[in-house]
Amino acid sequence: GAFVNTFGDSGSNEGNFKGPAGLALSANGNIYVADPDNKRVQAFNSDGIFLFAVGPQVGTLALRNPVSVRVDSGKNLHILDADLKKVIVTSSNGKFLRVWDNSGDLQEPVAMAYDGRGYFFVLDRGEFRVKIFDEDGTYVSSFFSRGLGERELMDPRYLDIADNKLYIADYASGK
């Protein structure tokens, strides 16, 4: 592909970043960027124009380390905060809706993916597992364990979903 655009500078002002960690694209072209060092998620239009920020205060919670953001089928934002070990849900314009009631006892969540069919996959590096939740945040199941085998993880860092396949980057095992 061809280079199209860049936006944002280093800093804490609107539209600036201090270590962007994750991003999501909505169906209408908005770009949502998790910015953990600024304790917020920022929204931009498809041209990179700043729209709004979610955080640090969201409802009764204060974001501490938002590392991942995803958009569900209802256009709501799901923000994974690694320090809070929770997923916070807001509307597409950043209005607080809820916190997932059952976090599946997340130990060290580092990444989250959405499959487009109603399920979120949260990578929990502390338990060497992928935990599955529905769009309401209800814990469904988990898989993987610690190790170097075929269905094991040693130091998982990132995951994503494409073409109905789950991809995981495991730093320690080189997989």
Confidence of residue 13 (pLDDT cuts 50, 70, 90): very high
Whether 173 shows a pLDDT value over 90: the answer reads no
Confidence of residue 1 (pLDDT cuts 50, 70, 90): confident
pLDDT at 159: 94
Instruction: Give per-residue pLDDT as tens, 41-90.
Output: 999 999 999 999 999 999 999 999 999 999 999 999 999 999 999 999 99
pLDDT at 103: 66
pLDDT at 105: 85
Whether 151 shows a pLDDT value over 90: the answer reads no
Q: What string of H, E and C letters represents the secondary structure of the chain?
A: CCCCCCCCCECCCCCCECCCCEEEECCCCCEEEEEHHHCEEEEECCCCCEEEEECCEECCEECCCEEEEEECCCCCEEEEECCCCEEEEECCCCCEEEECCCCCCCCCEEEEEECCCCEEEEEECCCCEEEEEECCCCEEEEECEECCCCCEECCEEEEEEECCEEEEEECCCCC
Contact call for residues 55 and 42 (beta carbons, < 8 A): no
Q: Tell me the C-alpha distance between 160 and 142, whole Å.
A: 16
The region of weakest confidence among 55-64, 67-76, 108-117, 144-153 is 144-153
Percent of the chain topping pLDDT 70: 98
Going by C-beta distance under 8 Å and a sequence separation of 6 or more, which residues neighbour residue 160? 111, 113, 166, 167
Whether 104 shows a pLDDT value over 70: the answer reads no
pLDDT at 43: 97
Q: Tell me the C-alpha distance between 2 and 32, whole Å.
A: 21
Whether 145 shows a pLDDT value over 70: the answer reads yes
